[in-house]
Structure 1
Amino acid sequence: MPTDTVREDIRTFLTSRRARLTPRQAGLPDFGGRRQVSGLRRSEVAQLAAISVEYYTRLERGNVGGVSQEILDSLAAALRLDDVERAHLNALVRAANARRRAGDRDGGAVHVRDSVQQVLDAMTGAAAFVRNAHLDVLATNQLARALYEEALDTAGEPPNLARFVFLDPRAHRFYRDWNGIAHDAVGSLRAEAARTPGDTDLADLIDELASRSAEFADRWDAHDVEYYRSGRQRFHHPAVGDLDLDYDALEIPADPGLTIVTYTLAPTAPHAPTFLRLHHHMPAPATGPDPAAR
């Protein structure tokens, strides 16, 4: 990610965060009258962060050389950033102040070790797959292939979940909370773009999605960030019907940039019988390497 682009991302991120806060939400007196800006003024953010207006203005323009962690923490508190947004701001500042080094995180990694595939295959009661930070699906177990059969049904290799969400009309039926998964997908890519400056493959993916999907472009411009960690996802599977599954995203420490995503369900959960039917819908075991792992 070129330095000018990082600075522009810092500017847009900070301005979008202060635009969403009102003086009342920030604990400042609101004397009424017409305000010329949406949300907080720069002077109000500076006041809350205990820095000068001139210094905050410099930071908002992306000139973050030499900024201390203490200042960033004060700024994050002033703007009411959550943990994910704080991490994103820190990543943007690091990207603005450093060049990419050998050994940095590779968000577009495509190799899945045999032992990781063995872990997936051993999860017979869970749907599980490995994805990279570009949301490419690199390896699956049988139950995940059954659950995600439409998302994996693509001419592109490897299948990409962001492309499925925004470019495949079947995604609106498959994800019963399509708005939620769309928000998470864009937020994950936005966070990864800050963590891996210079990742041209990711930049190409973002450009493709923005050019082909107005929905993606609008959400990208909002500068929201998310980590897909744990929660409940609501599906509508074309063969078995509705499924509400618990998900967990487990990063693989030995393979930075790769994450195992699992979907499970308690035996007493309302959709447990449907989940059992999904087991009967599983494809036959592959005789060769998993196509998604290529």
Structure 2
Amino acid sequence: MVDMDNRAEVREFLMSRRAKITPQQAGIPEYGNRRVPGLRRGEVASLAGVSIEYYSKLERGGLAGVSASILDAIARALQLDDAERAHLFHLAHAADGTSAGMRPRRRPAKRWVPRPSLQWALDHFTAPAIVRNGRMDLLAVNHLGRGMHAALYDSDPGRPPNFARFTFLHEDSHTFYPHWDEAADICVAILRTEAGRDPHDTLLQDLVGELSTLSADFRWRWGAHDVRTHGAGAKTFHHDVVGDLELFYESVDMISDPGLTLTLYVAEPASPTAHALDLLASWTANQPIEVESGQQST
């Protein structure tokens, strides 16, 4: 199990964000030789309106008790995007010891099963639909979602499917994701975001430890401390039977099941992908596939 030490997480996150901002981007003059890329601590402190001693304390991991206004000032100085700013606040809550109380998680139960009404809703959607948690476990699908992710299910039949394990531990992922590097970056950023939101999730810690041990590609991406929200966009997949799928997706947090995300995929009407989805529907209808949830802890 990987111990996600909060002070180390804070230090590495702030240092990695500081390294990404140049003086030109920050609108300050550049002077002297720089031993490391990005801004100096003193420059961040000045931009945030705090002393260098205070900012240095924060960057050493001392976020406990820091006010929201100071966190906002640091976020502005480092030009954090919405996902990065939220991650900084989650790290601060964890440092205060308040993250457990603020965490909208239901984890007493060991296994999660979709309500019949949720499965009915998924099944009535005519394109692929899936439910996952922040650890990237695939928990529920409709029939077309199951068919679309056949490679994921086949890659590790001994346990519930997990996008991160599939991406980094199975060669088939390089075929399934034609833009594999982008898919890998997104996968790790989602896991890193979840780690900030729920630093006490031992199953996530175990997963990160497993992937860090077995995959150098995962290890260096994890060390980059990149985070992101994953709400909407377009992705390309390759299915062994129907070929390439250019799909748009919409992801929403499930209010009735905190911590879970529902993703709906759709093809542009009358496009080659729309035709491919019709073929995929015919193919899945002839497969001996039982649609099941991953039945994992949420």
**TM-score between the two structures when normalised by the length of structure 2:** 0.91
1:220 aligns with 2:219: no
Kindly indicate whether the alpha-carbon contact (under 8 Å) linking 1:127 and 1:141 is maintained by their aligned counterparts in 2: yes
Whole-Å separation in 2 of the counterparts to 1:34 and 1:107: 51
Kindly indicate whether the alpha-carbon contact (under 8 Å) linking 1:2 and 1:198 is maintained by their aligned counterparts in 2: no
Kindly indicate whether the alpha-carbon contact (under 8 Å) linking 2:136 and 2:163 is maintained by their aligned counterparts in 1: yes
Q: How does 1:130-149 map to 2 (within 5 A)?
A: 130-149=131-150
Please give the per-residue CA displacement for 1:211-247, whole angstroms capped at 9, x wherever unaligned. Answer: 0100000000000001221100101110011110001
Kindly indicate whether the alpha-carbon contact (under 8 Å) linking 1:128 and 1:261 is maintained by their aligned counterparts in 2: yes
1:65 aligns with 2:64: yes
Q: How does 1:199-238 map to 2 (within 5 A)?
A: 199-238=201-240
The alpha-carbon deviation at position 36 of structure 1 amounts to 2.1
The change in CA–CA distance for 1:227 and 1:4 in structure 2 (over 3 A counts) is closer
Kindly indicate whether the alpha-carbon contact (under 8 Å) linking 1:2 and 1:197 is maintained by their aligned counterparts in 2: no
State the match for 2:73 in structure 1: 74
Tell me which amino acid in the other structure corresponds to 2:44: V
Kindly indicate whether the alpha-carbon contact (under 8 Å) linking 2:212 and 2:219 is maintained by their aligned counterparts in 1: yes
State the match for 1:269 in structure 2: 271
Whole-Å separation in 2 of the counterparts to 1:287 and 1:35: 59
The change in CA–CA distance for 1:184 and 1:36 in structure 2 (over 3 A counts) is same
State the match for 1:104 in structure 2: 103
Whole-Å separation in 1 of the counterparts to 2:210 and 2:122: 31
Q: Which runs of 5+ in 1 are unaligned?
A: none
State the match for 1:166 in structure 2: 168
Whole-Å separation in 2 of the counterparts to 1:247 and 1:211: 32
The alpha-carbon deviation at position 38 of structure 1 amounts to 1.8
Q: How does 1:231-250 map to 2 (within 5 A)?
A: 231-250=233-252
SS at match of 2:245: strand
Tell me which amino acid in the other structure corresponds to 1:61: R
The change in CA–CA distance for 1:17 and 1:287 in structure 2 (over 3 A counts) is closer
Kindly indicate whether the alpha-carbon contact (under 8 Å) linking 2:90 and 2:99 is maintained by their aligned counterparts in 1: no
Kindly indicate whether the alpha-carbon contact (under 8 Å) linking 1:234 and 1:242 is maintained by their aligned counterparts in 2: yes
SS at match of 1:242: strand
The alpha-carbon deviation at position 103 of structure 1 amounts to 8.0
Whole-Å separation in 1 of the counterparts to 2:72 and 2:11: 17
Kindly indicate whether the alpha-carbon contact (under 8 Å) linking 1:130 and 1:138 is maintained by their aligned counterparts in 2: yes
Q: How does 1:107-118 map to 2 (within 5 A)?
A: 110-118=112-120
The alpha-carbon deviation at position 160 of structure 1 amounts to 0.5
Kindly indicate whether the alpha-carbon contact (under 8 Å) linking 2:114 and 2:293 is maintained by their aligned counterparts in 1: no
Whole-Å separation in 1 of the counterparts to 2:183 and 2:104: 24
Kindly indicate whether the alpha-carbon contact (under 8 Å) linking 2:127 and 2:264 is maintained by their aligned counterparts in 1: yes
**TM-score between the two structures when normalised by the length of structure 1:** 0.93
Whole-Å separation in 2 of the counterparts to 1:26 and 1:195: 28
Whole-Å separation in 1 of the counterparts to 2:233 and 2:48: 33
The change in CA–CA distance for 1:147 and 1:271 in structure 2 (over 3 A counts) is same
Please give the per-residue CA displacement for 1:67-100, whole angstroms capped at 9, x wherever unaligned. Answer: 1111111110100100000000000110111156
State the match for 2:282 in structure 1: 280
Tell me which amino acid in the other structure corresponds to 1:267: P
The change in CA–CA distance for 1:41 and 1:220 in structure 2 (over 3 A counts) is same
Kindly indicate whether the alpha-carbon contact (under 8 Å) linking 1:3 and 1:96 is maintained by their aligned counterparts in 2: no
Whole-Å separation in 2 of the counterparts to 1:101 and 1:48: 32
Tell me which amino acid in the other structure corresponds to 2:19: A
The alpha-carbon deviation at position 277 of structure 1 amounts to 1.4
The change in CA–CA distance for 1:56 and 1:263 in structure 2 (over 3 A counts) is same
- The share of aligned pairs that are identical, in percent, is 44
